[in-house]
Amino acid sequence: MIAKTESDIKNLRLAGKYLAEALAATARAVKAGVTTAELDMVAEREIRARGGVPAFLNYKPRGAAYAYPAALCISVNDEVVHGIPSEEHTLEDGDIVSLDLGLSYNGLFSDSAITVIVGGECDDAAKNLLEGTREALRQAIKVIKAGAHVGDVGAAVELVAKKYKLGIVEELGGHALGKTVHEKPFIPNMGHKGNGEKLVAGLVLAIEPIMTEGSPDVGVADDEWTYLTLDHSRAAHFEQSLLVTEDGCEILTPFL
């Protein structure tokens, strides 16, 4: 959406703030021995405690086999995105866990993700994966302003991925949002400067680099939601929602 009214902007800011808080609380609850279903309960409770509504729960995009059954998308190790919380899945030290959460507040949406390591200790490849994916988000945000092209964002992400030798999952990327969780345009995590649609002030975007430590080829699991890397290499995902302005952007979900 293009936010024009003061009231929409106010609600977008609140949606972003509450989402960042709920996501941080969920991240704090990540530890060995916790199930992914328990983390979903934390996420949903934290969203509702702030007057928000979980945006992913019961969300059924066009083409989906069935509606998403949880508040939280939780994707562990070779799971890339849209992992479904489960009572059977217990986290272990060293797991790479992407937490992706969406919230609506007074009908305005926010979408954000972070990747954390269970117990905080990990190998160098995992450190490189997380640092590269986070840095790609930072660099993408730097090029966003009214008049910049969608391709400028993709080019910024791609450059960082190359530097860190990470795979970019081509079929996944960012999007506009606002009155719904997914709106056009799609924002690829690769591209060429000057290509694609021009951004305008007031446009609300979710920017989300999604990277792998190995091949970027992915498939969808039997649950019809979870994306997995085909080579079982691990993946990371960082995402923020932001508002495009004349000379830059305003981050709506501050967590970095």
Secondary structure element (H or E) that encloses residue 105, with its range: strand 96-105
- What residue is closest to ligand MF3 based on CB? 68
Which partner from the list Co ion, ligand MF3, none does 237 bind, CB cut-off 5 to 8 Å by kind? none
Among 22, 73, 84, 206, which residue sits at the site for Co ion (rule: CB under 5 A)?
206
For position 158 contacting Co ion by CB under 5 A, the verdict is no
User: ω into residue 185 within 30 of 0, thus cis?
Assistant: yes
Q: x/- contact string, 77-116, with ligand MF3 (CB under 6 A)?
A: -----x-----------------x-x--------x-----
Residues in the chain: 256
Which partner from the list ligand MF3, Co ion, none does 227 bind, CB cut-off 5 to 8 Å by kind? none
Rounded Cα gap, residues 177 and 109, in angstroms: 7
Q: CB 246 → ligand MF3: shortest distance, Å? A: 26
Q: Which range binds Co ion by CB under 5 A, 3-11, 14-22, 32-40, 198-206? A: 198-206
For position 186 contacting ligand MF3 by CB under 6 A, the verdict is no
For position 59 contacting ligand MF3 by CB under 6 A, the verdict is yes
Q: x/- contact string, 152-181, with ligand MF3 (CB under 6 A)?
A: ------------------------------
Beta strand 210-212 with 227-229 is unpaired
Rounded Cα gap, residues 107 and 180, in angstroms: 8
Nearer to ligand MF3, 99 or 243 (CB): 99
Q: Give 38's contacts (C-beta < 8 A, 6+ positions apart).
A: 29
For position 68 contacting ligand MF3 by CB under 6 A, the verdict is yes
Of residues 208, 234, 254, the one with CA closest to residue 128: 234
Maximal C-alpha separation, the chain: 48
Q: CB 56 → ligand MF3: shortest distance, Å? A: 4
Nearer to ligand MF3, 122 or 227 (CB): 227
Q: Give 84's contacts (C-beta < 8 A, 6+ positions apart).
A: 68, 69, 70, 73, 74, 223, 225, 226
Rounded Cα gap, residues 227 and 223, in angstroms: 10
Q: CB 93 → Co ion: shortest distance, Å? A: 28
Q: Give 92's contacts (C-beta < 8 A, 6+ positions apart).
A: 32, 118
Q: CB 59 → ligand MF3: shortest distance, Å? A: 4
The residues that touch ligand MF3, with contacts defined as CB under 6 A, are: 56, 59, 68, 73, 82, 100, 102, 111, 206
The residues that touch Co ion, with contacts defined as CB under 5 A, are: 111, 206
